[in-house]
Structure 1
């Protein structure tokens, strides 16, 4: 390929990325749920006719993007090429073929140019409710956790499956929000298709075959070059987490091979009877993300750059089989990157950040009136603790790593239902000390509005086991959950906040990096000036 052709291919590749970014922005702007609209809990991407991811939108989370990369193959196999038509949209929330739990809806749409199938568009988003016990860890099997939608058609030749919509409305608490999000997901793929066909028509492409070959060859070669530069060996790391009613041990072995890097989760505790299990598709998504962050952070995410990173595991809490309860799969799924990075830190000393809060501190609040004239509502709120300190920088405060979702504004949360967020501020002294300080967690106080009470599903971790520092850095502070009268609350499970009381959360801070004695005096003075440290 001569230089002119290479430049042309690179321009088309960039154009393809802009197509999927516009696809994602459509979902972000039209979604009904605040978790999508405000926090960006979504993914979007374009795939070739074989179901291999060509490009992903920058907007989105690794858990959604990397699971979606595998999910499209399930759609192709189960729908069948002979049953695919222009105007189709397919849907599922199958945890083992989608993104790990029932609350995430994945939609896939074939993209035809004339009569030729040129690719697929896929997108994923978290919806506020799927029925059942609600978003929480209390289910004993996936059957209790909500309505299950097998891979099926949401629309055929542009006509929506009205029977599916009726089933949804009969099974969820917030029917308008959920159905609205389904239409937003479908519209997201439609926009991607329209922009792709316009691009192909303008450039004169009949298929994406040549462009796909260019993308895959470049990214695969670059990824293999990075893997070849890694030391050869196997490194083991373990981590204790809060669990539900007893601590849970996670273990990973990272091994570099000829042209792959494998993570094995043997030694991890077994499948839980509570809804904190993780399907392997979600575990793999975050394990691959952690490895790419270290090995190939600047190489675009697609089929070819993900393929060299592999995962294996016996059945355990990180490889839970159907019908295990998996509603809170994100809690331990979000711990996987720190688990994997801890092993990589042994292979690459001085290059890996300290542990952070990991899992989001999500709250699902079910608000009810205590007297006439009140309002019922289902409210989902995402909150983030602190990131671990980095080898040359302090950790980021109140930042969602590894999920990457955005902070949900208090105003948007209060608009979703009758609650009041009385306090949301950084938590002083929560970041671990070190040459570089761990990021701070948050202090949050939430109360039902007058004339209301709420039950909430706690999805918290790091309340017993704090994030660890690295290379001599101290650990971050663990988190706490209680009512304003001092009543201690569990980190997981449905609990009650009566009218007149406040829910008080102290989110964990990230671990520090390096010997605290080496922290510059100016940096310590700045910590005190900003209120990050009070001592």
Structure 2
């Protein structure tokens, strides 16, 4: 009977994962912003009544999922249980209590079965605009970066807070898209709640306690077994990133002991005066993701598997304090996995991939008609990816978003949102670092204003002065560059202008190679030549 009961709980666990997948797919199907609808820049999950994450949707990014796992606790701390009612939905974009910057909206919905609070559903998505300076690194405090929404009720007993919507409409450039996404987020949680009640009724359960205890206990046992197999000790790593106007040093030490795995960012550069700072909640999210992807990639991501990682830092660019500007926190934050994995590679030689492009090459375009034409204004957001680092037994993936995992938005969908033309989007030859296994290739992208238009764009790029490093003898990936089509160099970060008739040219960085280049097989070298992945002077 005990074996049958455990099988039944395992089936229900799988069913719970399908519930949160449907929750995430609801957001994908109903979102207004292309960054959500096309790129999957979101997360969704279900929590027990204490706010512990039980299951997450596979669809989504680590930066959203792992910050959301902590964020739900902040909601519970600020909204007492006696003030929670069926039909409620709560919201925030607080960078320090949500997901690290103002553009991410986190919504949490209490789940009631009858009069009993049995858990929570939460979701996060990046919206196209939150006012202020726009999505970019130019702000010098969080107050410049957009509207701040404290943890509050988006809806109470099913009634949407119309005052909040009116405030939003007056503070953002694309009110219809933004408010549409708010409703999509709320609907996403509602779908999860309904499917959960159906599942519990079918199983004859009153709440999530028994299933949750099974999930967390099994996960804890599995993750501790993986930790027990790791060597004991402390290892350190550091790296340079481009920063805003000067290089920024990131540093980490990893300690593995019987009690768990500690990560410490001491030695990292001080907070920046520009909007590239990272709240610790976001740095923790990507540190945990990196470690888990190597140590226990097959173990479910939930409160129990995350609890074994202890991430700490003094105040610095990876633990920025309010009111530091944090709009572009993802650029430095996406470097955290390469930083952490560089230390882990010393403990697990031959098992960790090389560095990659890491940070997304996001570009936020604010298009407008020229003075002598009648066109339209629009805010356009593109997600673009460089190459991944080579893996211990395989080449790196080209034009792939690691560690974020978001998709590249189709050109057609991007052009539909505003008056721009993408003239070129192709793999960048010779950008992957040479090695026994080659680094992934970056891309070359050319974007121009449509006829009668010009645009300003926010550059959010890195790996231009500090390329991805190879591992175990592998060579560095090619650095990136950003110019106009006439060769005029542009800055890797900050708002800049592309006049009518000119094109913005982005050459995205490649990933580092793994192993000695002279150990690469002849067949692989010939294949690279045939496909145009390398040139004669770079193999």
Offset, 1:258: 1.3
Which whole-Å CA distance do the structure 1 matches of 2:261 and 2:453 have between them? 52
Are 1:234 and 2:234 an aligned pair? yes
Are 1:390 and 2:384 an aligned pair? no
Counterpart position of 2:514: 513
**Deviations 1:85-120 (Å, cap 9, x if unpaired)?**
000000000000000000000000000000011100
Which whole-Å CA distance do the structure 1 matches of 2:293 and 2:487 have between them? 41
Instruction: Report the secondary structure of 1:171's partner residue.
Output: coil
Counterpart position of 1:205: 205
Which whole-Å CA distance do the structure 2 matches of 1:259 and 1:475 have between them? 36
Counterpart position of 2:424: 423
**1:49-448 aligned within 5 A:** 49-370=49-370, 371-448=372-449
CA contact (8 A) 1:288 1:306 kept: yes
TM-score normalised over the length of structure 1: 1.00
Offset, 1:224: 0.6
Which whole-Å CA distance do the structure 2 matches of 1:417 and 1:353 have between them? 38
Counterpart position of 1:503: 504
Counterpart position of 2:495: 494
Q: Number of residues paired by the alignment?
A: 535
Which whole-Å CA distance do the structure 2 matches of 1:212 and 1:199 have between them? 14
What 5-or-longer segments of structure 2 have no aligned partner?
Answer: none
CA contact (8 A) 1:227 1:260 kept: yes
Which whole-Å CA distance do the structure 2 matches of 1:79 and 1:142 have between them? 24
Instruction: Report the secondary structure of 2:438's partner residue.
Output: coil
**Deviations 1:184-236 (Å, cap 9, x if unpaired)?**
00000000000000111111110110000100000001001101110000000
Which whole-Å CA distance do the structure 2 matches of 1:534 and 1:467 have between them? 19
Which whole-Å CA distance do the structure 2 matches of 1:58 and 1:398 have between them? 21
Counterpart position of 1:460: 461
Offset, 1:259: 2.5
Which whole-Å CA distance do the structure 2 matches of 1:496 and 1:65 have between them? 34
Offset, 1:373: 2.3
Are 1:451 and 2:433 an aligned pair? no
Moved more, 363-372 or 234-243: 363-372
Which whole-Å CA distance do the structure 1 matches of 2:40 and 2:185 have between them? 13
Which whole-Å CA distance do the structure 2 matches of 1:421 and 1:296 have between them? 40
Which whole-Å CA distance do the structure 2 matches of 1:520 and 1:297 have between them? 29
Instruction: Report the secondary structure of 2:364's partner residue.
Output: strand
Offset, 1:71: 0.3
Taking only aligned residues, the RMSD between alpha carbons, in angstroms, comes to 0.6
Which whole-Å CA distance do the structure 2 matches of 1:524 and 1:405 have between them? 30
Instruction: Report the secondary structure of 1:253's partner residue.
Output: strand
Offset, 1:372: 3.6
**Deviations 1:159-186 (Å, cap 9, x if unpaired)?**
0000000000000000000000000000
**Deviations 1:417-474 (Å, cap 9, x if unpaired)?**
0000000000000000000000000000000000000000000000110000000000
Offset, 1:410: 0.4
Offset, 1:407: 1.1
Which whole-Å CA distance do the structure 2 matches of 1:314 and 1:396 have between them? 35
Offset, 1:355: 0.2
**Deviations 1:73-94 (Å, cap 9, x if unpaired)?**
1001101101000000000000
Instruction: Report the secondary structure of 2:110's partner residue.
Output: strand
What 5-or-longer segments of structure 1 have no aligned partner?
Answer: none
Offset, 1:310: 1.0
Which whole-Å CA distance do the structure 2 matches of 1:530 and 1:80 have between them? 60
Which whole-Å CA distance do the structure 2 matches of 1:138 and 1:516 have between them? 41
Offset, 1:534: 2.0
Which whole-Å CA distance do the structure 2 matches of 1:57 and 1:496 have between them? 39
**1:1-80 aligned within 5 A:** 2-80=2-80
Which whole-Å CA distance do the structure 2 matches of 1:336 and 1:140 have between them? 23
**Deviations 1:229-249 (Å, cap 9, x if unpaired)?**
100000000000000000000
Which whole-Å CA distance do the structure 2 matches of 1:534 and 1:486 have between them? 22
Counterpart position of 1:481: 482
Which whole-Å CA distance do the structure 2 matches of 1:257 and 1:311 have between them? 14
Offset, 1:485: 1.1
TM-score normalised over the length of structure 2: 0.99
Which whole-Å CA distance do the structure 2 matches of 1:314 and 1:320 have between them? 9
Which whole-Å CA distance do the structure 2 matches of 1:310 and 1:190 have between them? 33
CA contact (8 A) 1:228 1:259 kept: no
Which whole-Å CA distance do the structure 1 matches of 2:25 and 2:225 have between them? 33
CA contact (8 A) 1:476 1:510 kept: yes
Instruction: Report the secondary structure of 1:185's partner residue.
Output: helix
Offset, 1:509: 0.2
Which whole-Å CA distance do the structure 2 matches of 1:214 and 1:319 have between them? 34
Moved more, 253-262 or 410-419: 253-262
Which whole-Å CA distance do the structure 2 matches of 1:372 and 1:338 have between them? 47
Offset, 1:486: 1.0
Which whole-Å CA distance do the structure 1 matches of 2:415 and 2:259 have between them? 50
Instruction: Report the secondary structure of 1:356's partner residue.
Output: coil
Instruction: Report the secondary structure of 2:44's partner residue.
Output: strand
